[in-house]
Each structure stands twice: as structure tokens, then as C-alpha cells.
Chains A and B, each alone.
Chain A
Amino acid sequence: MTGPASTPIHTPATEARYDAEILIIGSGAGGATTAALLAEAGFDVLVVEEGDWVEQGSVVSFSLEQMDRQYRSGGVTVALGLPSIAYTEGRCAGGGTEVNSGLYRRPPAELLERWRSQYHIRDLDPDEMYVIADEIESAINVTTVPGAVSAPSAVLRRGADALAWQNSESPRWMTYPPGGSASSGQRQSMTRTYLPRAQRAGARLLTQCRVRKLSISGTSASDADVVLADGSPGRIHFRHVFVCGGAIHTPALLQRSGLRERIGDTLAVHPTVKLAARFAEPINIPDDVPVHQVKEFAPEISFGGSASHPGLVALALADNWGEFSHALHEWERVCVYYAAITSEGKGRVKAIPGLRDPLVTYNLTARDKQLLRSGLSRLTLLMLAAGADEVYPSYHNAPVVRSSADIASLQRSFAATKATVMTVHLCSTVPIGEHPRCAAGSFGQVRGMRNVWVNDASMLPDAPGVNPQGSVMAFAIRNAQRFIETERPHG
């Protein structure tokens, strides 16, 4: 299903009281898919979303304006630790899918097998998951770019090829106009795909509606306390609730509602470190990201390209501003790249009474820090192999790297505690499975609760080592299908 949908019905929340058979909290990758499947199966579905509806294309992708309008807290929040890890989340109709890079990866078969056996997830069949993945790929139009890839993407390919490192173009959920170029795509986010589908099947969507907590008695939840668009309180009564607020806000909401056991204790992320690289020729494309990824060292380490508008180039150079700032004058020849790792560290999300946002902590292990060093050094080598004149690694007092001998001083002086460690992949705060350490059952039913479900990135048992949205959607659809089989809608 591609192309513009009929104008969807979405209204800011204004009524003091709503009723729904199924309440879905959050309209991102998990919430939107759940809404479409349940509405199409005949359930009465109400989706509530804290953020606004922002039409794709009305804001420049990866711009500062987008950070203001579609991200939580203007773009950056911090998980405390040594080092602290900055993370970003979408907050708008469609959630992270509206602002992200759109790089699609299926959950690898080995990953599904590991999750099944390690977390005792019932009926997790890779073949069934791949049937679902096929459906998703056609629904959001997963495709490679038309014609040649962009210059910053070609840098990754050229460098990796020179070093004989495995690399490939990651397909994206995009549509391109006839004869369009690599950067002319339109993101097939949830506001263009699953949300209109849900609405066509009768689902209602309330924007600017933040759920504060659920009222729970015994094993059932009955109502949600919400804050309406004008800031006044409201209440939504439901039969079932799907919490899909993302890996930070889903556990926080459950904790505020009195559900604390194992919830929020197992935050997993893909920590990343960055560098900026300067080339002889102009390569910067401010409103798009590279599509190539280097998977030679996956799943431990992966490389790719980051958004690189001048503001973000400045951010990447900020760690050694005195030495690096001259590169900003030539930002057209500079691009930002990342090295991501699969971390063995663990984080926590803790709702604090009286505070709107939860406290998030994350601790890297000694191995994680070594992998970050190795990742950043290897990425630097790749940039030199691709022909970079100068590389500026993002950590405090980093050297300018011009030759392979300079990388030795990078390795000597790097410390994860000096680096700007970031992540955009957050998950696993309410992991599913029958294993005692899992906070929800194999299909997302919160332990001990009859009618409370999680169906977003929180449910992934641990960090997938690949871009997660494809996995979030596939699991959300699998769980929704199971729900439909067992809870047939009335009449």
C-alpha cells in the first residue's frame, strides 16, 4: 500500500471521557501496526498519541525544525552513566517512524532462533515471521534507491570495498517519483501507511493526548488517566489496552500504574560513536542519510552514515572544537558517520513520582568500551581508504587523523568516557518470553495482567544488532494476529 491515503481522521483530544474496546497508547511502529490489524479484524480501536500529527514533507527531514516539532525534548535526552548516553525518540503521530533514517532490516534467522531458545518464546516460527515480513515490505514499500546512491553512501561502499569489508545497501521504506533520484524519496512512515489503514477500518486517533497512568484493580486495568490537548485531565475506559509508547515510556507508564516487577530493568541499546570526515570534493547532502551499511564485523560492530546537515556537522566537531572547527567552513565536503555496537551493558528506566519523565541509566561494560574504540578506529581506517583528507573522531581532545599512523594515537587517547556516545535504538524494557526474567508472556501480555499488553520496541528480548523497526513491526503483527485468534471481537 503506497501513495497518499484519503485524508485521515485525527483530532486533538478534547473530551473528558472516551470509551473504546481496545485502547492503544502510542502510534509508532508498534502502535500503528497493532491498530491496523485489530481495526481490520473488527475491533473498536482508539489510538492515543502524545505528539502532533505532522504531514510528511511539511518539515525538512533531519532539520532542526523537525527536531523541535517531532522529537521528544527537542531531540536529545540522556541516559546517565559513565559515559552518559544521549538518546533520541520521536514524539508525533507515527512516533520514531516519522523521523528515522528508514533503513530496513529483517530480524536475522539466527537472532529469532536465539531469542526463541534463550527467552523461551512460544510459537516463534521464523517462516511465519518472514511471511509477516513480506507483508510489511509491501505495505511500506521497502525498496533500494533508484539510480546511483548518494555521494556519502558511495564513500562507505568505496572505503569498505578497498578494505574487502562486507557492505551493502540497506533498503528503505520509501517511494520515489518517476525518474526520481536517490534523495527524492518520501518516507513511508506510519502516517502514510498503517495509521490511514487503521482509520479506514474505523479506528479513531486522538493526538496531543498523553496517558499518565492506568487504573488497575486485581488483574485488570479499566481506565486510563490522560492529559488532553488543553492540559486538562480526561479518562478513557477500555476492555483491553496495548501500551506502545516506545522502550522508555512504556515501562514508565506501567510503573506509574503500579506494575513494577521486572519492568524497566533490562533496557538495551545500540551505543554509537561518531566521526566527521572531510573529502576533496563536495559530498554533503543535508536532508538525507547514506543507505550503505558495513556489516563485516556484525553483529558486534556496524558502520553507517548519519544525518549531516550543518548543525549536526557542528555537533560532531564539538568535542575538539579548537582543532576541528575549521572543517565547519567546508561543511559541504564533510559528512558524519557512526560505528554502532551490540552492548553487553544494561540500563534501567525508573518512573520517579512527581516527575514527568523517567530516570534512565545505562552502563557500558569494559568489553563495550573496547568495541567502541575498535569500531571508531576501524571506521577511521575506512574513511582513509575511501579517500578522506582528514578525519575528526568525536571525543574530547581527539587528534585530527590524516594517515594510518595517526590512528595509533587515536587508539591510545580514546576512552569511551571522553566520547559523545549516542543511541537511536532503544528496546527490551518489557521483554517477552516464558523465561522467568521476562516481564511479559510470549505474545506481549504483561505478567499477572489479564488485559494489559505491550506491543512495541519494549518487547524485544534484547538488542537485535540490526536496525530494529522491521523487527518491532514483525513482532507487533505476530502478537496482534494471536490476539485476534483468541479474543474474537463481539458481533
Chain B
Amino acid sequence: MDDLALPAATVITGSAGWLGRALVHHLATDAGDHARDGEVRALVLNQTEADAVHAVSARARAIIGSVTDPDSLERLLVGLPPDTDVIHTAGVIHPAKVSDFFAVNAGGAANVAAAVQRAGLRRMVHVSSNSPFGTNASDEDTFRAHEPYNPYLGYGESKMQGELAVLDQVQAGLDAVIVRPPWFYGPLQPPRQTTFFRLVRGGRFPKFGAGMQRRSMVYVDNLVQGIVRAELTPGPSGRAYWIADERAYTVNEIIETVGRALTDEGYEVKPGAMALPVIAGRVAERADRIIQSTGRYQQQLHVMGEMAHSIACDIGAAQTELGYRPAVALYEGMRRSIQWCRREGLEL
């Protein structure tokens, strides 16, 4: 089937974020993989964020507001033609407190979906995550396109509620597609990702048990491609797709590949990893649960708790139905990330 026509205008929420800026780059600059004409509106929280978006693309039009504030969403969408698409990426992953998860990830998605529906725009692409589905039951298991919800703590619960809010609007007539990326990596990454490189360089990346847990990851340009394919492929409303690299990687493979990418970029890498018993992962998970139940959030514990499990997903549906073709895999993607960090003067 032919693609939908390119939209007359494109709206991006969360556009000063990592994924948001990658989208602005690819959609609204000549260097982008999916450069398009027409207006690109970018929702940002404040002037600093507006500047960050303009640094990526001078032609993107930044609008200050928040997904938690429905009035600002009215302003964001005012005067747009009906064949406008909205790509909703705004979300929090590592907040200061658990309630932020719900305000932004659940409430924000509900507000955006309602606003798009009210404005009568063409399609919403909702960027969700693997977290509504938790972790695989075993290291051999792979998430299929359709899976039962099994949210992982506050973040997962809030992202699940976000999906459900969008699906409610689908019932009411909204045309929406859900995209579910797992752990993503690539240029423009936030500081916590440089910690990741530093841990690998120092031979201190945490590895539970034999390191045979499988992780799906997605290089940010692959993700942008998946989002654009979801936006432009005709089909019934309410579909959801995993968007990840071609296949999942084992933790051992991730450590080895990133180590090799760092070495090939001229960094000294201490071989090995910080071997931890599986039980340590369980303890971290338990502690994470307890801390979150008090409304607080501790990033390291959260990441540690998840690392003891597999999160692997099957991208077959995106490949066959959307024609999604992930072009970059782990080694190449990591080299590009490292080069970007160096250009930005970031210490690895």
C-alpha cells in the first residue's frame, strides 16, 4: 500500500529531549534522513529548551508549554491544518519523585490525545516503552507484538496508563499508532549514558550471573525511522509496534561490543565487568520497589534491578507491516555515540 502523503505540518512534544531533538534534526533540517517541508512545531518547557531546539533547527517553531497543562496544548495546536501529524515523545524516565511519572507519562498522554482529537488532526504517534510489559519471564523468551500488560513499577504503570488513555481516544475516533522502543542509545544522549561508557571502560559495568540476559536496544536513528514509518503507513487505528535494532543483544555481547567500539575509537578499556550474583539484582529490585512505594525514586537502584532480567522484543510486525528496516546495529551505533560525545567535549 502507498504511504500517506507527507503531512502539511508536524508537531513534536518533548522536543528538547534526546529523542525530540533527534526528530527535529531528521524532520526539520536538510541534513535529516526524513527532511520534510511544512511547519514543524515543537513543544518545549521554557526558553532554555527553546534555544536547544533552535540550535538543532532554525526553522522549527518552539512553543512554550507543558503536556500537563491542557491550555498550553490548545495554544500548541491552534491554527494547524487537518492533515497535521503529532508525535508525542514527552515523558519522564528518571524523575525526582514517583508522582511525576503519572502527571507526565499518564496525564500528559491523555491530554495530548484529547487535544489532538479535539483539534481534528490526522494522526498521533504515541511513543511508549517496554516498561508496561515488564521483563521477560525467562532469558529465552521474546515479547511478541501483542503482550499482556505487566508494568514494571511506577514508570511502567504510568506508561501503561498513557497507552490506555490513548486507546480510549482511539475508541472515540482518534487515529493513533503506538511505538514501543526499548533502551535507546546514540548521539544527543543525556549525561547518564556517558556513565555507561565510563563503566564499560573501567571494567565495572554490572553483570548479573552469566550475563546471558538479552536486551533489545534501539539506535536513535533507527527509532526515528520507526516513528516515521508508523506515522506514514496507512492502517487501522490503535496498532502498536516494537521498534528496536534487528535483534536483541546479550549483556555479555553489549559489554564486549561497547568495549571494542571504545578501543577502536582510541580509548583505553579495562577488560571485564563487575560480576554480581543474580541475587544482588533481586535485592536491588526489592529495594527499588520499597523506595518507590514511599513516593521517591532512585535511578541507580532502578537500573540495577532491571539489568538482572531480559527485555527482548520481536520487531517482526514493524518490519512486515511498516516496512521498518533498522540500518544501524550495536557496534556502529556505539561508535557514532562515542564520536558524538568526543565532539561535544564530554569526558568518557
How far in angstroms is the closest Cβ of chain B from A33? 34
Query: How does the 8 Å CB contact mask read for A200-228 relative to B, with 1 for contact and 0 for none?
Result: 00000000000000000000000000000
How far does the alpha carbon of A374 sit from the alpha carbon of B317 in the complex, in Å? Answer: 21
Q: Which residues of A contact B144 (CB under 8 A)?
A: 163-165, 296
Cβ-based interface call for A378 (8 A): yes
- Tell me, rounded to whole Å, the shortest Cβ–Cβ distance linking A58 to chain B: 43
What 1/0 mask marks residues of chain B from 120 to 162 whose CB sits below 8 Å from any chain A CB?
0000000000000010111011001111111100000100100
Q: A408 with B138: in contact, given A163-B144, A165-B144, A296-B144 (CB under 8 Å)?
A: no
A380 within 8 A of B: yes
B327 at the A interface (CB under 8 A): no
Q: B138, A367: Cβ atoms under 8 Å?
A: yes
Q: Does A168 contact B (CB under 8 A)?
A: no
Is there an interface contact between A405 and B149, defined as CB atoms closer than 8 Å?
Answer: yes
Chain A residues closer than 8 Å to B157, beta-carbon distance: 408
**B160 and A405 within 8 A (CB):** yes
Instruction: Please count how many residues in chain A sit with their CB below 8 Å of the partner chain's CB atoms.
Output: 23
Please tell me if A385 contacts chain B, counting CB pairs below 8 Å: yes
Q: Please name the residue on chain B nearest to A162 by beta carbon.
A: B146
**Quick one: closest B residue to A384, CB to CB?**
B148
Q: Which residues of B contact A164 (CB under 8 A)?
A: 144-146, 317
For residue A458, CB closer than 8 A to chain B, the reply is no
Contact A377-B164, Cβ < 8 Å, known A300-B138, A300-B140, A370-B138? no
The residues in A between 404 and 453 inclusive whose CB is less than 8 angstroms from any CB of B are 404-405, 407-408, 410-411
Query: Least Cβ distance of B302 to chain A in Å?
Result: 18
Q: Report how many A-B pairs have Cβ atoms within 8 Å.
A: 57
| CB of A381 within 8 Å of the partner chain | yes
B317 neighbours in A (Cβ, 8 Å): 164
Q: Are A381's CB and B141's CB within 8 A?
A: no
**Whose C-beta in chain A lies nearest to the C-beta of B167?**
A404
Docked CA distance A163–B147 (Å): 9
A371 within 8 A of B: yes
Partner of B160, one of A377, A378, A408: A408
Main secondary structure of the interface of B (DSSP, over half): loop
Bound form: Cα–Cα A401–B51 in Å: 48
- Name the B residues within 8 Å of A405 (CB-CB): 149, 160, 164
Interface: A373 (CB within 8 A): yes
Complex Cα distance, B160 from A380, in Å, reads 18
CA distance A149 to B145 in the complex (A): 27
Contact B146 A163 (CB under 8 A): yes
How far in angstroms is the closest Cβ of chain B from A428? Answer: 20
Given contacts A164-B317, A405-B160, A405-B164, contact A370 B148 (CB under 8 A): no
A411-B149 contact in complex given A297-B141, A371-B137, C-beta closer than 8 Å: yes
Within 8 A of B (CB), among A335-377: 367, 370-371, 373-375, 377
Chain B hits for A296, CB < 8 A: 144
Cα distance A297–B142 when bound, in Å? 9
Binary interface profile of B, 46-85, with partner A (CB < 8 Å = 1, else 0)?
0000000000000000000000000000000000000000
B:297-319 near A, CB below 8 Å: 317
CB distance from A302 to the nearest CB of B (A): 13
With A164-B317, A405-B164 known as contacts, the answer to whether A411 contacts B140 (CB < 8 A) is: no
Contacting pair A370 B137 (CB below 8 A): yes
Chain A nearest CB, measured from B284 CB (Å): 16
Residue in chain B with minimal CB distance to A409: B149
Cβ-defined contact, B147 with A381, below 8 A: yes
Give the residue of B134, B138, B145, B151 whose beta carbon is less than 8 angstroms from that of A371.
Answer: B138
Which A residues, 447 to 469, have Cβ-Cβ distances below 8 Å to chain B? none
Chain B residues within an 8 Å CB radius of A411: 134, 148-150
Determine the distance from Cα of A381 to Cα of B148 in the docked complex, in whole angstroms.
Answer: 6
A-B contact pairs, 21 of them (CB 8 A): A164-B144, A164-B145, A164-B317, A300-B137, A300-B140, A367-B137, A371-B138, A373-B137, A374-B136, A374-B137, A374-B141, A377-B148, A377-B150, A381-B146, A385-B146, A404-B149, A407-B150, A408-B148, A408-B157, A408-B160, A411-B148
Residue ranges of A at the interface with B (Cβ–Cβ < 8 Å): 163-165, 296-297, 300, 367, 370-371, 373-375, 377-378, 380-381, 385, 404-405, 407-408, 410-411
The 3 closest A-B pairs by CB, nearest first: A374-B137, A377-B148, A370-B137
